[in-house]
Amino acid sequence: MSGKTQDEMAEVMHMSKSGYTHIEHDKGYPSLDKIEQIAKVFNMSTIEFLDFCENGATFFLSGDQVENQNSTYNYYVMGKNGHELLLAEMEKQRLEIQYKDELLKEKDKQIKLLEKLVGSLADIEEK
């Protein structure tokens, strides 16, 4: 689209050809800065470029990259089918929470049963 070879793109981006090739073949994880650089080469805004991409893009920013957040991840999904990817991820998270809630309920039932058993044993010892 830009008429540039992979070598030329790598040079413009100040990276190795293999690094750029990984990005082009959807094997690399470019930073937002790199994506902005690519968009500029194509004379597009970053949003236009991401929307142009065949699969869109997903960014995972870990907690140490996002101020005041520890061990959490923020998902930014853009481009074609991006909303579908986000909805699928949300559904997956909802199901995981539902499963954990069920485990917690089962744990509470077992604790109550064990408390009854301990109480029964204490009653037997008193007699």
Domains in the chain: boundaries: 1-79, 81-126
Tokens of 115: 């408390």
Given a contact cutoff of 8 angstroms between Cβ atoms, the answer to whether 20 and 10 are in contact is yes
Q: Does the pLDDT at position 55 exceed 70?
A: no
Neighbours of 57 (CB within 10 A): 21
Rounded Cα–Cα distance for residues 102 and 41 (Å): 51
Domain 1-79 has CATH 1.10.260: yes
pLDDT bucket at 64, cuts 50 / 70 / 90: very low
pTM to 2 decimal places: 0.42
pLDDT digits (tens, 9 = 90+) for 72-118: 445 455 555 666 666 777 888 899 999 999 999 999 999 999 999 99
What is the per-residue pLDDT for 44?
85
Rounded Cα–Cα distance for residues 1 and 29 (Å): 21
Rounded Cα–Cα distance for residues 55 and 7 (Å): 23
